[in-house]
Each structure stands twice: as structure tokens, then as C-alpha cells.
Structure 1
Amino acid sequence: MWKKTVSALAVGTAALFIFSSEGHAENDSTQELQHKLTGLKSMNLPDRLARFVHSSDREFTYPEDGVKGIYVTGNSAGGERFNSLVNFLDETELNSMVIDIKEDNGYLTYRPDEDSPFYDIAQNYIGDPEQMFDVLEEHNIYPIARIVVFKDSVLAEKRPDLSFQENGEVWKNGRNEAFVNPFLEEVWEYNLDIAEEAAKMGFQEIQFDYVRFPEGFENRDEDLEYDVGKYEGGDGDNIHRRVNAVNDFVAYAKENLEAYDVDVSVDVFGYAATVEYAPGIGQSFLGISDNVDVISSMIYPSHWTSYFGIDKPDLHPYEITKEYAKVENELLSELEDGPVSRPWIQDFTASYLPDGDWQPYGKEQVEDQIRGLKEEGITEFLLWDAGNSYTEGVNYSP
């Protein structure tokens, strides 16, 4: 439930955050996937809430100095790069990996058992999850599962009725990506089942990404064809209905994952903390933060427009990060029991920006962001590089 109106400072215009990912070939599994989705409706909630007990003897403890992690694709986690990333963490103060389990297109990155309803939408990137966990445990690396929720071309193509349609076809954005409908509880259940499997595998935290409607949805919400489920009618306009749906999903996921003794985190756009709510995508920073253990704002300097009075933010990683942290801290102070703040920071070069608006990112720029956070009392962070190539020689406690 959307619990309160955010009294955040509205600063500038909303920045555009864009993630890019490589596409993968789609498998045909309509019958099994539809069986899974329709079967979810008959699941008994009390059974789900029964306390889950891990059968393995694995032991992972939350890092004493907080999570300092890196993003790892399924390809990297299951390929030759994995060992080099493990060695990289061994040689630094970094201690955690955020590993793709359901990636940006909607595929699983590992093969479940053949009788799993998700088997045919899985890719065998992580060929031996048990061996991966053996290595993570041996090297004391804290495992976090990244699950992309509402951006899901695979599910949208299989079940157009769970997506947004235009002229009878699945609507896709300018990057040829389809989204599924956050209003529909059937979609919630689908992603929650995947999250539960990740928890059973041994992940200590479930990180949900793309917990939102498509960018710019406020400009097409009355043109696309879609079901609003239980949000039909009632009080509020379309904007508030979107915010309610997103917040309700997060609260529902948090409640149902409590049985698995895992933390729940959500990635949000950095600008969501600077506005009352993001009208198109349905993200309320405080509404989401009030229902998670960890909030991870994506605050890459390259992804901001001219915010906080800082022109060309990519050239000023320390200043933009510090100013953002001030706004976030003020917001989170409004919550009685707020989440841990663990922002995503930039370890890539945004050469796609106009000349003069970007700079090469390396040791100095990464340290500047960490220092900006640290000076405002935020000591946890995650490094993003889509190719998982991270800067050497960084002091992660500047």
C-alpha cells in the first residue's frame, strides 16, 4: 500500500536511467509456462509462509563492514571470468556479488530441474550453481540474486495478456524491450516463485530490479491496451494507481519471502528520491523504502541531467554523489525503521554522452563517489559495469 505522500525536494527535471543488455534467443515453452502461471492462482498462501529451512550446511554471514559488491552477469558467473572476479574480490575490500538469476530479457541464467515449469525459459549460463556456491562460500563472498521483474520480453511474448498491447500486438519500447503488467498479481506470483527458488539455492538476499512501469508510461497509459486488475475504479488517478501497484508488489514480496530468511532489496532510479513520485514509472522512493531491507538507488553520475546545480554531472562524481546522499538521508529519516542504503555507483565510462560531457572513469572517479557517500554516512555500495570489468587499484575506503 502506498503509505504516505513523499515530501521530497523536487529538483530539476527527471533524469533518464538506461540499462543495456545483450539479447538472447528465445525458446518456445508456451504450454508449460502457461500451466505455471495459471497454477499460481491456486497456490495456498499459508503453505508459502511456512518457515523454509535450508538443507545445505552452507554458511554466509552479512559482511561486518557492510556490503561492498559488484554486478555479475550469468555469463560471467558461469564462465571463465568468474574466477578472475573472485580473485579480484580476494585482493580488495569488496565482499559481495550481485548475480543475475532472472536477467533483463526474462530468462533464467541457470537450468532448474527438468520438471520445473521454468526449465524451458532457462539458459545454461551458470552450468553448475552448486559449484558456484562452493566457491562463494570458500572465499567468503556474500551472494545476492538479481531478479529483473517487470521488464520481461520472454513472458510478454508467451502471455501477451500479461503485458501491454498496441493494435493487438505486444508493445515494445525504442530498444525493442517488452514489459509485463505490474497491476496483475499473476505477474507478481511468477516473479516471487523465481525469487523463492533463488532463496532455496542459497542466496542471502533477493534484489528486485525494474520494479516499475516502462519509462514515459504517463504518455501512453491511455493508448495501450492492458488490464488493471484489482486497481480498477476506486480513489486516485492513473499515477497513484501505478504507485500503489508497485508498492503493493514490493510489500507482498517482502512478506512472502520472510519465510526464507533472506533480505529483500529493490533498485530504484536515483531521481525517484528527488520528486514526490515518478509519475510514469510508478516509483515512490519512500513507499518502496518502507517495505524493503535495502534500498539501492542507481546514482551513476553519467545518468543525471543538470541536477543539484551541477552542470555536466559525469565530470563531477564526488559532488553529484554527495548531494544525492543528502537528499536520500533526509527522506529516509522520515521512516521509523528505514532500510539500509546501498547505492549503485559508476565503474564504467559513459563515452556515449556528448563530447565535453563525459570523462574516462577509473580509480579517481570511483573513489570520489565512495567518498561522497561516506561523508554523508553511507558506507555500503555496489559497482556497476555491464561487462563486469572493474577498475583495478581502487581504495574502497577512501
Structure 2
Amino acid sequence: MVSTARRSSIRRNSRRRHRVTRRGWIVFSALIALIALVVAAVVYPLLRRPAIALAGLEDGATLGAAGLPAGIDLTFDRPVTTVTATLDGEALAVNIDNLTASFEIPETTDGDHQLEVIVDRGSLAPAVSLTRDFSVDTKPPVATVIEPTGPVLPVGPVAVSITVDDPDAIVEIGGEGVSASSDGVFGREFPEAPPAPVSILVSDALGNAATSEVVITLNLPGIDGGEPIRGVHASGYTWTTAELKDPIMELIAENKINTIEIDLKDEAGQVWWATSNEHANQIGAVEELWDLAAVVEELHRLGVRVIGRLVVFRDPILSDWAIGTGNLDWIVLNPDGSPYGQYGGYTNPFNEQVWEYNISIAEEAARLGVDDVLYDYVRRPDAFLDQLRFPLQGEQTPEEAILGFLEASQPRIHAAGARVGASVFGIAATHPDQIAQPIPAMSELVDYVAPMVYPSHWGPNEYGVVDPNSSPYDIVFRSLSEFQNQVAGTNATVLGWLQDFSLGVDYGPAEVRAQIEAAEDAGVVDFLLWDAATTYTEAALDPMS
């Protein structure tokens, strides 16, 4: 039998053991909970999928030429270390910076494409990927001009109309938005034929755009199937001097001429109208005597063709600037390096900055409505080559320099709406190396060559003519016949420069008429009369039918 004291002791020990056991369970449970928290804190971020944000490329999008981004930026809601990107299965280089990544999109062809981004999370968790399927369509709408279909009258309204292969296209004609008619035609009517080519802009909803120009050909002398060119030269001062201009206007009124050739830039390098060419204005080459656009409009209203004469490499003003500023590679030099002094100054046909100076002036004149740009002095100086030095020449010949200038010029002048001609020496057909004017090669780069076959400029026995100046028919017929032979097989024609001045022999109606008849008999129907004083022999010209 257990005493009361013993029983009390047993109860006290039991309670003590119970308290220890309960305390242990509490500690153990707390430890387990702590471990769970630690594990969760470490493992959960590894297991939770990171959020990927990709801006600028929507799934299922169709993108135009301007819609496809050059690069893609990614953002993540937690740091990443390994990101790969592929476009149509081809790996892209990815730049990773903690919470961001970026990569460039290469040039992409039209069609369907897939972009995939993968975030690698190591062996503890599966990778996370994002995919964008998209299409690229960079083909712009195609415009087809339906009018005008041929030359238009220089006076009166002119319609420009097109059709487009996309009925929802956005269309501008001449910088003005137009809508389609009920039959799907986009058109705009101009009160008169614009002097410059009419711009066409067509675009679609994706931003794909195409531009073109409609060159409007005026129904003037010199067009295919039209009247032959019968014209005269006018200097810058001719058009501001009544006693010179009025007789020329009378020849037009009497239907004896139908073309005026007027100086755009003359032998002195002087530009007689307000060109926007910055360099011409800086060097003092511009003296505005008349408004070129107004002159063109005045003559076009009379049905007269306007040829702008531009003297190219003979240019004293540009030469003086080059000498004064030390830009000696702009000019022809003597063998000792001093400036070549003939003609008042001769610029360098090997210098492409000289090319650009002249072409830009010609191009502007064409956009103001000039029908032809007729280059003069598009040659080297007529001196022995050992007396000349051409900076920048390298291994090229002077002939190659002249051809290079014409090749650079023709597409720009054509795009501005004008034809291109080249005045050439009469001797160029037989002695091209003396002035660097190879006629067959030049004929591939111009619309016509204009030989200056003035009888007074030939030496004795040229083309078998004992005294050319006294035999205007013979020398003009024989020389122009040779030029006809040399342009054969090209798209170029021959326009004859004929003499209407006296030099050594008095020239009157009979001598001028003899040259015109000789040209016609040689198959050259287009001609211009030259007189530096711009006074012409009316009696030598018959009214045109």
C-alpha cells in the first residue's frame, strides 16, 4: 500500500514529465515550421513562373514595311540569367540585364513568321516560353496611269488619272489627296499642264507606300510625229531688250519659227534667272533678268518649245571662285599648276562637284518647265593635252569624263521632265579626240546631238570643200550627213546649229537658206540659228504650213 506522500511524489513527477514532453513538441513543431518557411523562401521563387512582357509585337499581327520593329525589348518580374530567342527557328543574339532583355530583329521577308522567347530556369523548374506568330506584307499598292495617254496642249485643263490594285489605297496626286470615283479611278484635274512632273503617292493601311511621277509631254515642236524644230538663240539680255525680243516674237507670230533656245547659264558663267542653287548665289553667278517660269509660260501659250542652253565647263565665274578659295581641283590647270587662262577660266570635267553644280541648275530649270536642256561646252579645252593638267584625272581619259557627266545628268533631267541635248563641234565627227566629244558614245547618253556646223568655222578642204565659208550648202550637207551616220543605231537624233551671222563672208537670206536646205537634204529636220547678237534674217525663213 502506497503512502499518501509517495502518491503525491509520483503525481508531481508525472506532471513534470508531461510538461517537458509538451515543451519538446512545441519546440519541434516550431523548428519544422521554420524549416518549411526557409524551404519555401528558397524553392518557391525557383518554382514560380516568371512573367514575361514583350512590347511592340502583337500575336497574330500583320506588319507593313514600317511596322516591324528593329528590335524587341523584354521585361521580367524577377531577375533572369538565361534567355534565348529565335525567329523562324534561327537563333538571335540576346542582351540580358537583370530584369530586362533585348534583341534585334533581322531583315524579314514577306510571309508568315514565328518569334519564340524561352527563359531557362535550370534543372529545378521547367523553362518558360512566349510565342508571337505574325505576318509581314511590305508590298505597296501599284498605280497605273490611264491619262494623259500622250502629249497634251500647253493651254487648257489637264487631267491626271490612275487606277490602283488596292481599292482601299490612300492616294495623293500632285500632293493633294484624292478619292476613287465609282469606277475605281483616282483623278485630279489641273487648270493647265503643270511645268514639273506630277507626283503620285499611293499607300495602304499598313503604311506601305510607293511614289512615282507622271511626266506630262506638251504638244510642242520636236515631239515624235510633231513639227520639226525651227528655232533661234536668245541670250539672257535678249528677253529684256525690246529691240531684240520683239523681232523674234514677230517670227513666232508669222509662224516662221516655233522654238526659242534661251541661255540658262552662259559663257561667262552668268545665270540670268533666280535659281535656288546655293553655290551659284554665293559666288555671285546669279543676276535675275527674268522669271524663268514666266518666260516658259509665255512661250508655251504660243505653242513654242523652250530649250534652255547651259554652258557647262567654260565658266569664268566658277573658276574665279575656285582660284580665290584655293579649290584648284575645280579647274583645268597649266602643266606648272597655274590656272589655265583661256576662255576666261575653264572648269575641270573630272571634278564631280563641278558636275553637280551644273546638273542641279539644269534640273531646276527642267522642273520650271523648260522642255530641253541643251548643254554647250560639254568638252575639254581645244588645246594639246600636254598643255593641260586635269586634277583628279587618275587613269581616266577626258572622253570618259565627258561621258561620265552626261551619264550622271540624263536620268535626272529626264525625271525632271525635260530632254537632254549636247552641242558639239563640227569637227567632233572626224576629230573627236581634239575636244573629247566621241559622238557615237555621247549619242547613247543624250536625246540629240547639236553639231555647230557654221561654215565660217571650217578650214579649207574639210570634207573636200575647198572654201567652206563660201559653200554653205556643201559643207553643211556633208558634215551633217556624217553626224547622221554616227548617231545611227542609237536613240539620239541630230539637230543642226546653223550660221546666221557674217564672219569673213557676208551672209544673207541666200546663205542661211542654203544651210537649211542642206540640213533637210541630209535628213536633219531640226535646226537652230545662231547669232551672238540675236538678230535673225527673216527673209531666209518661210512660214511653216
TM value normalised by structure 2: 0.56
Where 1:159 maps in the other structure, the secondary structure is helix
Residue 82 (structure 1) aligned to one of 228, 233, 245: 245
Partner of residue 343, structure 1:
496
Partner of residue 18, structure 1:
none
Contact 1:74 1:125 in 2 (8 A): no
Residue 266 (structure 2) aligned to one of 95, 99, 103: 103
Q: State the alpha-carbon separation in 2 of the partners of residues 107 and 243 from structure 1.
A: 26
Gaps of 5+ in 2: 1-210
Partner of residue 249, structure 1:
405
Tell me the CA shift for residue 331 of structure 1.
1.8
1:227 aligns with 2:391: yes
Tell me the CA shift for residue 84 of structure 1.
2.9
- Which of structures 1 and 2 has the larger relative contact order (alpha carbons within 8 angstroms, sep 6+)? 1
Tell me the CA shift for residue 397 of structure 1.
8.0
Contact 1:60 1:142 in 2 (8 A): no
Where 1:390 maps in the other structure, the secondary structure is coil
- What percent identity do the matched residue pairs reach? 27
Tell me the CA shift for residue 168 of structure 1.
5.4
Partner of residue 263, structure 1:
419
Contact 2:452 2:497 in 1 (8 A): yes
1:305 aligns with 2:440: no
**Paired residue type of 1:304:** W
Per-residue CA deviations over 1:247-272 (Å, capped at 9, x if unaligned) read 11111111222211210000000111
Tell me the CA shift for residue 343 of structure 1.
1.1
**Paired residue type of 1:368:** A
Partner of residue 69, structure 1:
231
Tell me the CA shift for residue 383 of structure 1.
0.3
Partner of residue 511, structure 2:
365
Of Structure 1 and Structure 2, the greater strand share is in 2
Tell me the CA shift for residue 123 of structure 1.
4.2
Mapping 1:282-297, distance limit 5 Å: 282-297=436-451
Q: CA RMSD in A?
A: 2.3
Larger radius of gyration: 2
Gaps of 5+ in 1: 1-49, 234-239, 352-358
Where 2:361 maps in the other structure, the secondary structure is helix
Tell me the CA shift for residue 131 of structure 1.
3.2
Partner of residue 159, structure 1:
322
Further displaced range: 77-86 or 362-371: 77-86
Distance verdict in 2 for CA 1:185–1:132, change over 3 Å: same
Distance verdict in 2 for CA 1:184–1:117, change over 3 Å: closer
Tell me the CA shift for residue 122 of structure 1.
3.8
Distance verdict in 2 for CA 1:134–1:257, change over 3 Å: closer
Q: State the alpha-carbon separation in 1 of the partners of residues 414 and 383 from structure 2.
A: 33
Contact 1:75 1:125 in 2 (8 A): no
Partner of residue 340, structure 2:
171
Tell me the CA shift for residue 170 of structure 1.
2.4
TM value normalised by structure 1: 0.75
Tell me the CA shift for residue 125 of structure 1.
5.1
Mapping 1:203-222, distance limit 5 Å: 203-221=370-388
Distance verdict in 2 for CA 1:375–1:89, change over 3 Å: same
Per-residue CA deviations over 1:122-179 (Å, capped at 9, x if unaligned) read 4435333343223212221110110000001111111132012345542211x5x210
Contact 1:51 1:260 in 2 (8 A): no
Partner of residue 14, structure 2:
none
Q: State the alpha-carbon separation in 2 of the partners of residues 263 and 192 from structure 1.
A: 13
Mapping 1:178-189, distance limit 5 Å: 178-189=345-356
Q: State the alpha-carbon separation in 2 of the partners of residues 165 and 328 from structure 1.
A: 32
Where 2:446 maps in the other structure, the secondary structure is coil
Size of the aligned set, in residue pairs, is 322
Further displaced range: 201-210 or 132-141: 132-141
Residue 536 (structure 2) aligned to one of 355, 365, 390: 390
Further displaced range: 180-189 or 103-112: 103-112
Q: State the alpha-carbon separation in 1 of the partners of residues 436 and 278 from structure 2.
A: 32
Per-residue CA deviations over 1:20-60 (Å, capped at 9, x if unaligned) read xxxxxxxxxxxxxxxxxxxxxxxxxxxxxx75678xx9956
